[in-house]
């Protein structure tokens, strides 16, 4: 048996053509490994493995993968993928915009292991720096949305909206009675789709339509969502003001969620002004590249009254044992252990690094800088609107911030032709339907870019891209009154040196892998190699809109397909999805796969999910969200599943057993001897086995979930792969 992971960086060193930049970034050298083995009483790896992994699950053959590459070869290969992506100026919008990462933030935060290798801030005494920046993030969101409580980031806008929907159901809903949720048809399409999926599973009836026609009078809606400004750019959807709509919803005792945009909010009244109960959105355009769709930090804010129903973490100010002010994670409602099967959310780690970058962006620019950026974006959009209209196109005439739509048939064109014209000058527009395109401005768009777009897409031969100051003013009806970002932190660090020192001072308060190993749980079993972080900031990966035409993202597709092929081999499964954006969403997606499979075999009534007591808190929370009933299985004192209790519970639920969730090796680090018997017993009773792959590192090359007999599994990218942890990060599903 060979341990691939160990020899991976040395495979090709005899080849004179290969530069010797292979040095071990991760893991011990052979002599170190020998010494470590000796310390624990083994002569070699084979001995260690044999004594740890049950023989009946040991892999009989090596993984069938391409030979491992050196670091420089790997970077070369990744560059080849990157070269197949086309970087275009994006006018697509729909929640993702061109942004500029301030170099001081790029170099000192995103590219700095002091920030990207830090662990989840469970231990407040070694996390004060990150906790302060996350508190800044919350303060930013609170200030701009006008709602007093914010969480320390979620995963993205769509999942934040679904979390908010679930909150309204937890607060106002009643199964079968008050279980309707209304979605305005002008919410971003990806958000509508995600809410529909999440709602359907737990029996919330979704109605999508014209908000002005929504009828709350029967009192059967728990909540509703509108987009402000809406997906087509209008400040409010037509037919009824958001204020009147909110009042009607409240009269019917339904809560109102506003999906909104932080950049627009620097210029327009906050959603609290029309009475929204919850605000959600993405902080992407605050200095986090589009990256083909993520990861980015989502946000959610609401009233103090609902703090206990908020998903994820809240950072709070407290006092330490010396009576001095300090910070800690104050409200981890769904974290690890607290609410378990009573949870209404399975959010665990979120997008801490990206939330921190967005907060740093706001601190660096400050209120004036942000207003300059948003005013420029608004003025560019108005220039585009003016020029396209004066060229004879019919354009939407509602008040807008950065986005408007054009009926291109008014000049005898169709959307595909306009997009082809845009692409010919290196740009993309949003195709809304055959005759309508959307144009959105972002921070990275220049006047020259706009002139090119007007010329290429709309055939305007010499557009006038000049603007006077009045073009930067918002429509008075929607303009924000008063100051933004009043907290002193947003008014202190506007020079690069000050910002640099602030970032460094926070970094110095934390323990990350650039200081020492962090002996805390499975998340720390890997260290990101520097070379793995390098492609993360290449424009061919960063500056790509998730809805870019597929012929512009060939490199991304190839890379994802190649990764999926390798992951299928490593996990022993037939297929892989790279969609879920955290371990917990991987669990959720995997359980839905099980549920849909059972439906397809006529066994859809099975709904019991057996979960060992030692399981991570996201397991029961995901099962509940997937509409399953959690039944807890006892553990013995070594952390093994109590086989007698399991057998008894399988027998009891043999007619309604849907799934068993198992973490392997277990959270205690044990490869349970009876795993195959356990899996067989579940299968014999008609259930499926979900393997939590958070500890997949320990299996790679030695065994696999497929070999052991599991049916579905997720992998946490921030544990098993090189995605920066930084206090949170995405996973993937099998």
Q: Where on the chain is the footprint of ligand PLP (CB under 6 A)?
A: 348-349, 522-523, 582-584, 616, 618, 663, 667, 692, 694, 716, 731
Instruction: Give the residue with the Cβ less far from ligand PLP, 162 or 380.
Output: 162
Residue 657 φ/ψ, nearest 5 degrees: -75, 120
Residue 178 φ/ψ, nearest 5 degrees: -110, 65
Task: Round to whole Å and give the CA distance between 709 and 536.
Answer: 35
Q: Tell me, what DSSP letter sits at residue 628?
A: P
Task: Round to whole Å and give the CA distance between 362 and 358.
Answer: 6
Instruction: Give the residue with the Cβ less far from ligand PLP, 377 or 694.
Output: 694
CB of 97 to ligand PLP, least distance (A): 26
Instruction: Give the residue with the Cβ less far from ligand PLP, 359 or 523.
Output: 523
CB of 294 to ligand PLP, least distance (A): 13
Instruction: Give the residue with the Cβ less far from ligand PLP, 180 or 714.
Output: 714
Q: Residue of minimal CB distance from ligand PLP?
A: 583
Task: Round to whole Å and give the CA distance between 731 and 727.
Answer: 14
CB of 623 to ligand PLP, least distance (A): 12
Instruction: Give the residue with the Cβ less far from ligand PLP, 465 or 611.
Output: 611
Token pair 């920030």 is found at 115
Task: Round to whole Å and give the CA distance between 707 and 571.
Answer: 8
CB of 315 to ligand PLP, least distance (A): 17
Assess contact for 723 and 558: CB atoms under 8 A.
no
Instruction: Give the residue with the Cβ less far from ligand PLP, 191 or 349.
Output: 349
E-strand ranges in 148-289 read 149-150, 180-184, 205-209, 221-228, 255-261, 278-282
CB of 582 to ligand PLP, least distance (A): 4
Q: What is the DSSP string of 440-463?
A: E--TT--HHHHHHHHHHHH--SS-
Residue 675 φ/ψ, nearest 5 degrees: -55, -40
Tokens of 422: 């845009």
Token pair 């980031």 is found at 153
Task: Round to whole Å and give the CA distance between 298 and 474.
Answer: 26
CB of 336 to ligand PLP, least distance (A): 8
CB of 41 to ligand PLP, least distance (A): 28
CB of 714 to ligand PLP, least distance (A): 8
Size (the chain), residues:
734
Tokens of 205: 């009836």
Task: Round to whole Å and give the CA distance between 2 and 322.
Answer: 53
Assess contact for 430 and 445: CB atoms under 8 A.
no
Task: Round to whole Å and give the CA distance between 447 and 468.
Answer: 13
Instruction: Give the residue with the Cβ less far from ligand PLP, 354 or 431.
Output: 354
CB of 619 to ligand PLP, least distance (A): 7
Instruction: Give the residue with the Cβ less far from ligand PLP, 450 or 661.
Output: 661
Instruction: Give the residue with the Cβ less far from ligand PLP, 339 or 616.
Output: 616
Instruction: Give the residue with the Cβ less far from ligand PLP, 375 or 663.
Output: 663
Token pair 């008040």 is found at 399
Tokens of 585: 């969403």
Instruction: Give the residue with the Cβ less far from ligand PLP, 230 or 618.
Output: 618
> In 10 A of CB 49, how many CB atoms?
17
User: Do the strands 180-184 and 205-209 form a parallel or antiparallel pair, or are they unpaired?
Assistant: parallel
CB of 348 to ligand PLP, least distance (A): 4
Tokens of 216: 């709350």
Task: Round to whole Å and give the CA distance between 4 and 92.
Answer: 43
CB of 726 to ligand PLP, least distance (A): 12
């Amino acid at each position: 048996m060979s341990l691939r992971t160990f020899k991976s960086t040395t495979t090709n060193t005899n080849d004179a053509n290969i530069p010797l930049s292979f040095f071990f970034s991760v893991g011990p050298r052979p002599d170190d490994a020998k010494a470590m083995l000796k310390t624990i009483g083994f002569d070699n790896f084979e001995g260690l493995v044999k004594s740890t992994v049950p023989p009946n699950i040991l892999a009989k053959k090596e993984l069938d993968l391409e030979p491992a590459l050196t670091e420089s070869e790997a970077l070369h290969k990744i560059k080849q993928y990157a070269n197949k992506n086309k970087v275009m100026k994006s006018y697509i919008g729909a929640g993702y915009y061109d942004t500029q990462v301030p170099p001081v933030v790029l170099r000192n935060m995103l590219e700095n292991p002091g920030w990207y290798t830090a662990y989840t801030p469970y231990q407040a005494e070694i996390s004060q720096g990150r906790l302060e920046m996350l508190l800044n993030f919350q303060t930013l969101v609170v200030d701009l949305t006008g709602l007093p409580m914010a969480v320390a980031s979620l995963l993205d806008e769509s999942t934040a909206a679904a979390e908010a929907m679930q909150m309204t159901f937890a607060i106002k809903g009643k199964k079968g009675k008050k279980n309707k949720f209304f979605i305005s048809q002008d919410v971003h399409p990806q958000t509508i789709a995600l809410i529909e999926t999440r709602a359907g599973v737990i029996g919330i009836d979704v109605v999508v339509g014209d908000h002005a026609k929504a009828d709350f009078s029967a009192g059967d809606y728990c909540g509703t969502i509108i987009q402000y400004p809406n997906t087509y750019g209008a400040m409010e959807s037509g037919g009824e003001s958001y204020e009147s709509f909110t009042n009607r919803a409240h009269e019917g005792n339904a809560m109102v969620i506003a999906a909104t945009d932080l950049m627009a909010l620097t210029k327009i009244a906050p959603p609290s002004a029309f009475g929204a109960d919850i605000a959600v959105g993405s902080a992407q355009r605050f200095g986090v590249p589009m990256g083909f769709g993520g990861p980015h930090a989502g946000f959610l804010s609401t009233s103090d009254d609902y703090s206990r129903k908020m998903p994820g973490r809240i950072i709070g100010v407290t006092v330490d044992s010396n009576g001095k002010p300090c910070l800690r994670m104050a409200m981890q409602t769904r974290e690890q252990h607290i609410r378990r099967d009573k949870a209404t959310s399975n959010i665990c780690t979120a997008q801490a690094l990206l939330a921190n970058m967005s907060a740093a962006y706001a601190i660096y620019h400050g209120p004036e800088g942000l207003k300059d950026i948003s005013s420029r974006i608004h003025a560019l959009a108005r220039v585009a609107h003016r020029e396209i209209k004066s060229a004879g196109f019919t354009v939407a005439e509602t008040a807008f911030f950065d986005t408007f739509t054009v009926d291109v048939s008014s000049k005898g064109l169709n959307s595909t032709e306009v997009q082809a014209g845009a692409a010919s000058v290196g740009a993309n527009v949003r195709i809304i339907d055959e005759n309508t395109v959307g144009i959105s401005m972002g921070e990275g768009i220049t006047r020259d870019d706009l002139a090119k777009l007007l010329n290429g897409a709309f055939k305007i031969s010499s557009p006038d891209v000049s603007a006077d100051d009045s073009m930067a003013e918002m429509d008075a009806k929607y303009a924000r009154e008063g100051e933004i970002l009043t907290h002193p932190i947003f008014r202190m660090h506007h020079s690069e040196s000050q910002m640099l020192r602030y970032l460094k001072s926070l970094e110095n308060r934390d323990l990350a892998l650039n200081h020492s190993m962090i002996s805390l749980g499975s998340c720390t079993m890997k260290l990101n190699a520097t070379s793995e972080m390098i492609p993360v900031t290449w424009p061919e990966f960063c500056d790509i809109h998730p809805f870019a035409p597929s012929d512009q993202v060939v490199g991304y597709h190839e890379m994802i397909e190649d990764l999926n092929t390798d992951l299928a081999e490593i996990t022993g499964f037939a297929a892989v999805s790279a969609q879920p954006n955290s371990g917990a969403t991987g669990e959720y997606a995997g359980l839905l796969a099980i549920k849909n499979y059972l439906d397809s075999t006529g066994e859809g009534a099975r709904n019991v999910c057996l979960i060992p007591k030692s399981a991570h808190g996201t397991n029961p929370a995901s099962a509940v969200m997937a509409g399953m009933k959690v039944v807890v299985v006892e553990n013995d004192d070594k952390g093994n599943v109590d086989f007698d209790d399991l057998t008894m519970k399988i027998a009891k639920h043999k007619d309604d057993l849907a799934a068993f969730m198992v973490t392997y090796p277990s959270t205690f680090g044990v490869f349970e001897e009876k795993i195959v018997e356990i899996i067989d017993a579940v299968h014999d009773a008609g259930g499926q086995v979900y393997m939590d792959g958070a500890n997949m590192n320990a299996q790679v090359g030695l065994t696999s979930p497929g070999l052991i007999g599991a049916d579905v599994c997720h992998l946490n990218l921030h544990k098993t792969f090189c995605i920066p942890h930084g206090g949170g990060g995405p996973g993937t599903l099998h």
